[in-house]
A and B are shown apart, each in its own frame.
Chain A
Amino acid sequence: MGSIAMPKPDDAVIARRQEIVKALRAIVPGEGVIDAEEEMRVYETDALTAYRQLPLVVVLPDTVEQVAAVLRYCHENEVKVVPRGAGTSLSGGALPAADGVLLSMMKFNRVLEIDYPNRAVVVQPGVTNLGITRAVEGDGFYYAPDPSSQIACSIGGNIAENSGGVHSLKYGLTTNNVLGLEMVLMTGEVIRIGGKHLDSEGYDFLALMTGSEGLLGVVTEVTVRILQKPETARAALIGFPSSEECGQCVADIIGAGIIPGGMEMMDKPAIHAAEDFVHAGYPRDVEALLIVELDGPEAEVDFLLSRIEEIARANKASTIRVSHSEEERMTYWAGRKAAFPAVGRISPDYLCMDGTIPRKALPRVLAGMRELGQKHGLRVANVFHAGDGNLHPLILYDANNPGELAAAEAFGADILLLCVEVGGVLTGEHGVGIEKRDLMGAMFTEDDLKQQQRVKCAFDEKQLLNPGKVFPVLHRCAELGRMHVSKGKLPFPDIPRF
């Protein structure tokens, strides 16, 4: 097990387990409540597999009324709840609590409405990200945010994590593509926000919910916007003798006013791992590889590709290849898309990190990572959403070697702190979860974090929903609400008044 501690379970709640299971069975009939240990095993971890915990009980509701009743019951009886989608979180967001109900939303798996004229699709939260595109692609549409986990991850999880993908550079993250939500608060209240219109009214609760990591409410319905598929897409595969030149090429492409559909970079260890695995034809003799994809009308794509070739040449690219068929384009991507499993082949275990940096800091951060690797005695392979500065260092380790997991975690934390040091952030798309929880202080002050936690108090005053995630120190809402203002002082004699 890793080194991050979870809040101490409440023995009194655990002692009431039978009673809680019985009450939940009265709400969700039949197989919707799971309390047998062997059946609960599949829920004990998400994709941050170093952490495992059996929940008190698992519930799989399939109606909004059931979700509301479960939450109301847990609220009244002070029982914690951890929402779960497909369980692909890389930050431990869906890690169960020993004294909490695990609420799986995967029975909410229906596409409710496809509205092409308004370019909107209404789905239940357990529909997979790719499931949305599958439902509309026959008619030439797609859902733009495309996390690499899109085959498996749920749209509810995407909302909770504000997930992104290769195409987020041009088409935005989840938050830019959600039009409406239905959610249930911990009290059981059902709230609908937004719809098929473009801007939601009042305070922007869509913004607050997206990226809230399951701490504010349980999402029971999602309206997303879909886009018409671009007329064509072509990709360029460009190799460089150094990461500096690659980084400069990225800056120059953007400086030329070009926002590609995707722009991904890999370093040498990642290139080799991917090439050995899928034989995508990547050059092995380069330090950095860039895949630039352009999508849109044919005339535009051809025009911009020629500009990009010029820019690459000016930056001393040693290989430049441009796709001439859909098959060739897919081959370029095959290696990048298989980067995680490819690294999984060369190392028994790996930790996937997720910091974002200002693009210009890339050479410095890559050099820093090499030094840190030596310090911790571990290797790292890098894949990088180069267009938006989002790094995914994959730290290679072997959990069977005593101390290596701890070293990998320490290495990861050092990398993220380096990201913050150069002006970046702890997580670009995977979420804080438990993984980066204790690093939050590197980016935020006490006051910053307390104001965030007060937002939670507006939604979940008893702090029962997904506790132990995101925030390093839990404060009671009553304590957070206290004001410390000195009475009656008449200040600022020198502020201009009129």
Chain B
Amino acid sequence: MAETLKPRDARELLDAVKWAIAGDEPLEVISAGTKRDFGRPVQAGHVLDLSGIAGIVDYEPAELILTVKAGTPLAEVEAALDERGQELAFEPMDYGPLLAGEAGRGTIGGMVGANLAGPKRLKHGAARDHILGLEAVSGRGEIFKAGGRVVKNVTGYDLPRALCGSWGTLALATEVTFKVLPKAESEATLIIAGLAPQEATEAMTRAMGSSAEVSSAAFLPGGLAAGQGLSGDATLLRLEGFGPSVDYRFESLVRLFGKDAKIERLDQAASKALWKALRDCMPFAEGAGPVWRCSVAPTAGAGLVADLSRSLAVDAFQDWSGGLVWLRMTGSDPQAEAVRAAVKRAGGGHATLVRADSSLRNTIPPFEPQSEALAALSQRLKAQFDPSGILNPGRMVAGH
């Protein structure tokens, strides 16, 4: 008798979790469900839907602080912030287009669970860099809080940050506090046309190593650039800030790259739209080929793509100054061993299988396998939060 439980507040959630513990009933935890097809398929008799625990609790623009219930749609939060000229500066990506065929439905809880970030990761980090505190229900059936509602706080272990990226396997956040930031007054993207991948990496590295305060840097090869209204291989550098500052830094980059560079400029709306598309991995939204998300040292990304391309048919583009490599396999085989071996050869990092049939995600570990000691530590941590293994069992690692 599979059913969906939809608690309306932390108390009801607590009841549901306690019931699951007592009856040894594993739960698949979802909110809007936009990332349900991310990670290993969860084997659970019941679905626990957290989207009913929603609403903005407290927003103080002058303090740069926002407290929201975890089921609140991200779009609602972003709209409220936008009204006051503020934003979540880490630019949480929307996996909807890639995984669920629909944009704009994600929630704050999902953002925390997946530790979302976007192209501004380079300068502003991820969800984990902006979370300040939370209230949650653990897999032990207890309500607890951690962190606080101020920007600087080292009182106790940093559980709010540590729960980011735990995919609902440790505890379920009911209320979350974030640091928000003023939105940049203006933005522009500098496009250098025609650089080969390795040259693009060098250009991005030079820009990041300059004082131009580049907030995003990406490389889109010609084949994918066309879909974004660009022609040919495009190296993209984004500048944000007060108008005069953006112009000044744009000129400093133009000087840095010299007369021979083919430079174009995208302003405001066009720049924003482009980065949003890259944020959401739009170049790969269509089609069904397996998609990998690889994280390596920024200068190693181009080499990783070249290495893989020698033996496999892949499409790829790079964000985070080269270090975030999105790969789409041309065939239906994710080629996990080849991809992970190439990441190791590139100096290490990790490869996550983001899009693939559920049967594939069942047999191939979607998250990068860990060293024995680290895997054992992860398992012990899970056991301390969820000893009966009722929260999203098997979602990150088979068996627990």
CB distance from A488 to the nearest CB of B (A): 6
Given contacts A230-B211, A254-B62, contact A175 B158 (CB under 8 A): yes
Q: A216-B157, A451-B385, A459-B380 are in contact. List 10 more A-B contacts (CB 8 A).
A: A190-B373, A196-B297, A197-B323, A198-B320, A212-B158, A228-B209, A360-B60, A423-B149, A489-B19, A492-B12
Interface flag for B374 (CB, 8 Å): yes
Q: How far is the CA of A82 from the CA of B387 in the complex (A)?
A: 29
Interface string of B51-71 (1 = CB under 8 A from A): 010000000111111000000
* Of B5, B352, B373, the contact of A189 (CB 8 Å cutoff): B373
Q: How many chain-B residues does the 8 Å CB contact rule pick out?
A: 106
CB distance from A438 to the nearest CB of B (A): 13
Q: Secondary structure of the B side of the interface?
A: mixed
In the complex, which residue of chain B has the Cβ closest to the Cβ of A428? Answer: B152
Please give the residue numbers on chain A whose beta carbons come within 8 Å of chain B beta carbons, in ascending order. 115-120, 140, 161-162, 164, 168, 172-173, 175-176, 185, 189-193, 195-199, 201-205, 207-208, 210-212, 216, 228-231, 251, 254-255, 257-259, 296-300, 303-304, 356-360, 385, 388-390, 423-432, 436, 440, 443-445, 447-452, 454-455, 457-459, 470, 481, 483, 485-492, 495-498
Q: Secondary structure of the A side of the interface?
A: loop
Interface string of B268-298 (1 = CB under 8 A from A): 0000000000000000000000000001111
Interface string of B234-257 (1 = CB under 8 A from A): 000000011011011100100000
Contact A120 B297 (CB under 8 A): yes
* Of A173, A297, A448, the contact of B145 (CB 8 Å cutoff): A448
* Of B3, B128, B348, the contact of A498 (CB 8 Å cutoff): B3
Contact A483 B387 (CB under 8 A): yes
Interface flag for B146 (CB, 8 Å): yes
Interface flag for B21 (CB, 8 Å): yes
Contact A385 B182 (CB under 8 A): no
With a CB–CB cut-off of 8 A, which chain B residues contact A444?
145, 156
With a CB–CB cut-off of 8 A, which chain A residues contact B297?
115, 118, 120, 195-197
Please list 22 pairs of residues, one from A and one from B, whose beta carbons are closer than 8 Å in the complex, sorted by A's number.
A117-B209, A190-B373, A191-B371, A196-B349, A201-B350, A202-B374, A212-B157, A216-B157, A228-B211, A230-B213, A254-B62, A296-B245, A356-B152, A423-B149, A447-B142, A451-B142, A451-B159, A452-B157, A470-B156, A483-B140, A486-B22, A489-B22
In the complex, which residue of chain B has the Cβ closest to the Cβ of A444? Answer: B156
Contact B209 A119 (CB under 8 A): yes
CB distance from B250 to the nearest CB of A (A): 10
Once A and B bind, how many residue pairs between them come within 8 Å at the CB atom?
A: 307
* Of A168, A452, A459, the contact of B377 (CB 8 Å cutoff): A459
Interface flag for B396 (CB, 8 Å): yes
CB distance from A19 to the nearest CB of B (A): 29
CB distance from A326 to the nearest CB of B (A): 16
In the complex, which residue of chain A has the Cβ closest to the Cβ of B169? Answer: A203
Contact A172 B129 (CB under 8 A): yes
Please give the residue numbers on chain B whose beta carbons come within 8 Å of chain A beta carbons, in ascending order. 3-8, 12, 15-16, 18-19, 21-23, 49, 52, 60-65, 85, 115, 117, 121-122, 125-126, 128-129, 138, 140-146, 148-159, 161-166, 170, 181-183, 185, 205, 208-213, 241-242, 244-245, 247-249, 252, 295-299, 320, 323-324, 347-350, 352, 367-368, 370-371, 373-374, 377-378, 380-381, 383-385, 387-388, 396
Q: Closest 8 interchain pairs by CB?
A: A300-B245, A257-B182, A207-B161, A196-B297, A299-B248, A428-B152, A458-B380, A201-B350
With a CB–CB cut-off of 8 A, which chain B residues contact A458?
377, 380-381, 383-384
Contact B296 A360 (CB under 8 A): no
Contact A443 B138 (CB under 8 A): no
Contact B157 A208 (CB under 8 A): yes
With a CB–CB cut-off of 8 A, which chain A residues contact B126?
199
With a CB–CB cut-off of 8 A, which chain A residues contact B164?
204, 207
Contact A210 B158 (CB under 8 A): yes
In the complex, which residue of chain B has the Cβ closest to the Cβ of A389? Answer: B150
With a CB–CB cut-off of 8 A, which chain A residues contact B146?
448, 451-452
Contact A455 B157 (CB under 8 A): yes
* Of B12, B156, B252, the contact of A495 (CB 8 Å cutoff): B12
